[in-house]
C-alpha cells in the first residue's frame, strides 16, 4: 500500500481532485498485461500503482488480459501472470477479464463507425500505408480507398469477417485526419486480418481489433475511471479520446500516464527476454537471473521487498534510470530483518578435534535470529569431525587475518574455541585436513588461559549435515545500459553470472527448508531453497544477494 507518510504523487493528487469535484464517485483502475511473456520488475511498478491506488481510495482494480494478438499469446503466460500477482499480494476485482470477452461488442462498434462514415476498409499494403502516412514533419495523404461508400465498406468488412480476404490484403481504418500532427490520428488501423486460432475464442474470429481500438473501449465497458498507462502511450491518448467520443460507450474513462521503470544492468524488453530464453542463455522465464517476477521469486526475493522498492522509486512523469542497487538494498534490508540464520560451508575443509571423543555428539543451541525472539532457536550437532571453509584456514597469516591459523585459536560460531596444531596434505600438497584441539571449557565463555581467539568462523558437523548444491547468482549483465546505443545486449552478458558449487555442507535443519524461504547463511549471504531443482537428499540453494554490496567495489578494481 502506498505510504501516507510520503508526499502525495501527481496521480494521488489528481484522483483526490476528481473525487472532490465529483468527476468520479468511485475509483476503478485496471492492470492490462499482454499474455505474451512473464511479468517483470518493470510491470511490478505498474501493478503496485494500479492496485495500490484502488486500495488507497476504496476502489477496485481489474485484471484484464490484452489478448488482441493471438500470434504471440499463450495460456502459459496467463497462468504465470495470475500467479505472480497473487504472490505479490494483490487481489483483482472479480474474475480475470480479457479483451476477447468484448470481441462481439468491439465488432459491433466497428460497424457503427463504418455506418457513421468514420471508418473504411483500406486495401493498401503495410508498405504502401507507411508511404501514405507521411512523417513527423510532413503530413500524410488520404488512402485511395478513403472515400469508399458506407455500403461498400460494410460489404468488405463482412467479407473480412467471413475469412474471404487474405492476411494483409486489407484492414479497417478509422477515418480521422491524415494531416494531423499526431501520427496516431492519421487514419489508424482498428481491425486487421489474422487467420489463426485464439487461446480464448478458438476459431471464431479471423479478424482482430488493434490494441488502440480495444483499450479504451474495454475500459469503458468495465467502468474504469482512471486508465493509467506508461509514458509511451501519451501520444496515443488523443486516439483513445477520439474513439471514446465517437462511439456509444457506456462510460467515459480518462487516460493518464506515468514514467515506466528503467533499471540499469537490466533488460526488460519482452522480445529480448524471450531471446534469452529461446537461445538458452538462461534456463527459462523463471531463471533466477531473469528480471521476471517468477525469476526473482525463485532467487529468493520477497513480495515485501519488491513492493518496498516500488514505493522507494516513487511515481513521476519524468523518465529516469533507477540504480539496481536500490532493488538489491530492498531485498537485503528485508532479509536482514526477517530471514532465519543458518550455517552452510561452501568449500568444505575437514577439521578433526583430536581430544574430542570419537562417538560423542552433543547438541548446541544457536539463535534463529540475532534480534528476533519469535524465530525458533536451532540445534547444532557437534562432533569430533567438522567442516569449515577452506578460506578460513591458513598455515601462516598476518595479523589482519582473523580466522584459523596453524598454532592459533579461533572460535567456532555458537560453539567452542579450537586450536590448530597440524595439517594433513594430499600427494599434490593440498591441505585436506586440519588437526585441532578443542577447549571444552570455552562454550559461551573465554578460554581459561586468558588468550582470546582472534575471530569467529562458521562450521557444520562432518557426521551430521545436509549435502547440498549452492548456486551463486550474480547480475546477468555487466554493462549498466546493455541494450542502449545500438549495442547487442548479448555482448554485455556477465560471464560470471552463475557459479555452481557442488558438495557444499549445510546444518541439519536446512533439510526441511521450504522452497523460497530465505535464510542468511552466516558470513556467506542470503539464500533460498530452489523450487525447481534439487531433491530431498540433495537440495539446491540459490544465492539471493550478498551480505554487502560488493559489485561496485569489484567493478572499480
The radius of gyration of the chain's CA atoms, rounded to the nearest angstrom, is 31
Q: Is there a shared CATH topology between the 10-260 domain and the 344-458 domain? A: no
| Nearest partner of 219 among 11, 10, 28, 17, judged by Cα | 28
Position of cell 599434490? 428
What is the chain's pLDDT, residue by residue, as a tens digit (557 residues)?
444 457 899 999 999 999 999 999 999 999 999 999 999 999 999 999 999 999 999 999 999 999 999 998 999 999 999 999 999 999 999 999 999 999 999 999 999 999 999 999 999 999 999 999 999 999 999 999 999 999 999 999 999 999 999 999 999 999 999 999 999 999 999 999 999 999 999 999 999 999 999 999 999 999 999 999 999 999 999 999 999 999 999 999 999 999 999 999 999 999 999 999 999 999 999 999 999 999 999 999 999 999 999 999 999 999 999 999 999 999 999 999 999 999 999 999 999 999 999 999 999 999 999 999 999 999 999 999 999 999 999 999 998 999 999 999 999 999 999 999 999 999 999 999 999 999 999 999 989 888 889 899 999 999 999 999 999 999 999 999 999 998 999 999 999 999 999 999 999 999 999 999 999 999 999 999 999 999 999 999 999 999 987 544 544 55
The domain locations on the chain are 10-260, 270-340+468-555, 344-458
Position of cell 511473456? 37
CATH code, residues 270-340+468-555: 1.10.1160.10
Angle at 332 between CA 335 and CA 467, to 5 degrees: 60
- Catalytic member of 82, 141, 252, 270: 270
pTM for this entry? 0.93
- Catalytic member of 252, 260, 350, 372: 260
What CA–CA distance (Å, rounded) separates 332 from 330? 6
| Nearest partner of 212 among 193, 235, 180, 179, judged by Cα | 235
Fold classification of 10-260 (topology level): Rossmann fold (3.40.50)
What CA–CA distance (Å, rounded) separates 65 from 97? 6
Superfamily designation of domain 344-458: Ribosomal Protein L25; Chain P (2.40.240.10)
User: What was the pLDDT predicted at 452?
Assistant: 87
Known catalytic residue: 34?
yes
Amino acid at each position: 500500500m502506498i505510504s501516507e507518510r510520503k508526499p502525495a504523487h501527481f496521480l494521488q493528487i489528481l484522483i483526490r481532485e476528481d473525487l472532490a469535484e465529483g468527476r468520479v464517485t468511485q475509483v476503478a483502475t485496471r492492470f492490462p498485461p499482454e499474455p505474451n511473456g512473464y511479468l517483470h520488475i518493470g510491470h511490478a511498478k505498474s501493478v503496485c500503482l494500479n492496485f495500490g491506488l484502488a486500495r488507497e481510495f476504496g476502489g477496485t482494480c481489474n485484471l484484464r488480459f490484452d489478448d488482441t494478438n493471438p500470434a504471440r499469446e499463450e495460456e502459459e503466460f496467463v497462468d504465470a501472470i495470475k500467479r505472480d500477482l497473487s504472490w505479490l499480494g494483490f487481489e483483482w476485482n472479480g474474475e480475470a477479464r480479457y479483451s476477447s470477452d468484448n470481441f462481439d461488442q468491439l465488432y459491433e462498434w466497428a460497424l457503427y463507425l463504418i455506418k457513421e462514415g468514420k471508418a473504411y476498409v483500406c486495401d493498401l499494403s503495410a508498405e504502401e500505408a507507411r508511404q501514405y502516412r507521411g512523417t513527423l514533419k510532413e503530413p500524410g495523404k488520404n488512402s485511395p480507398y478513403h472515400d469508399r461508400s458506407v455500403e461498400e465498406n460494410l460489404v468488405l468488412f463482412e467479407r473480412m469477417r467471413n475469412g474471404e480476404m487474405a492476411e494483409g490484403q486489407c484492414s479497417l481504418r478509422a477515418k480521422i485526419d491524415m494531416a494531423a500532427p499526431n501520427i496516431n490520428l492519421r487514419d489508424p488501423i482498428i481491425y486487421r486480418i489474422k487467420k489463426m486460432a485464439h487461446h480464448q475464442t478458438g476459431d471464431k474470429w479471423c479478424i482482430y481489433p488493434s490494441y488502440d481500438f480495444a483499450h479504451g473501449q474495454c475500459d469503458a465497458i468495465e467502468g474504469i475511471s482512471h486508465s493509467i498507462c506508461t509514458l509511451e502511450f501519451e501520444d496515443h491518448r488523443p486516439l483513445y479520446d477520439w474513439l471514446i467520443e465517437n462511439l456509444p460507450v457506456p462510460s467515459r474513462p480518462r487516460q493518464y500516464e506515468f514514467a515506466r521503470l528503467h533499471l540499469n544492468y537490466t533488460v526488460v524488453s519482452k522480445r529480448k527476454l524471450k531471446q534469452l530464453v529461446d537461445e538458452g542463455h538462461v534456463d527459462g522465464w523463471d531463471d533466477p537471473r531473469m528480471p521476471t517476477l517468477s525469476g526473482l521469486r525463485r532467487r529468493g526475493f520477497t513480495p515485501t521487498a519488491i513492493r518496498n522498492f516500488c514505493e522507494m522509486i516513487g511515481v513521476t512523469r519524468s523518465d529516469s534510470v533507477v540504480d539496481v542497487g536500490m532493488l538489491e538494498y530492498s531485498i537485503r534490508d528485508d532479509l536482514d530483518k526477517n530471514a532465519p540464520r543458518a550455517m552452510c560451508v561452501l568449500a568444505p575443509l575437514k577439521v578433526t578435534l583430536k581430544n574430542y571423543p570419537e562417538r560423542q555428539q552433543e547438541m548446541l543451541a544457536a539463535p534463529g535470529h540475532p534480534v528476533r525472539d519469535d524465530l525458533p532457536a536451532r540445534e547444532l550437532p557437534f562432533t569430533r569431525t567438522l567442516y569449515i571453509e577452506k578460506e578460513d584456514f591458513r598455515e601462516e597469516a598476518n595479523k589482519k587475518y582473523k580466522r584459523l591459523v596453524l598454532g592459533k585459536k579461533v572460535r567456532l560460531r555458537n560453539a567452542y574455541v579450537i586450536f590448530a596444531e597440524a595439517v594433513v596434505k594430499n600427494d599434490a600438497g593440498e591441505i585436506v585436513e586440519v588437526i585441532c584441539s578443542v577447549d571444552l571449557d570455552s562454550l559461551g565463555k573465554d578460554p581459561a588461559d586468558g588468550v582470546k581467539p582472534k575471530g569467529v568462523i562458521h562450521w557444520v558437523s562432518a557426521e551430521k549435515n545436509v549435502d547440498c548444491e549452492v548456486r551463486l547468482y550474480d547480475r546477468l549483465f555487466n554493462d549498466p545500459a546493455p541494450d542502449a546505443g545500438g549495442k547487442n545486449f548479448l555482448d554485455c552478458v556477465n560471464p560470471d553470472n552463475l557459479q555452481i558449487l557442488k558438495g557444499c555442507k549445510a546444518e541439519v535443519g536446512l533439510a526441511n527448508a521450504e522452497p523460497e524461504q530465505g535464510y542468511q547463511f552466516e558470513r556467506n549471504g542470503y539464500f533460498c531453497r530452489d523450487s525447481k531443482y534439487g531433491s530431498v537428499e540433495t537440495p539446491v540453494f540459490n544465492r539471493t544477494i550478498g551480505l554487502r554490496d560488493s559489485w561496485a567495489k569489484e567493478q572499480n578494481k
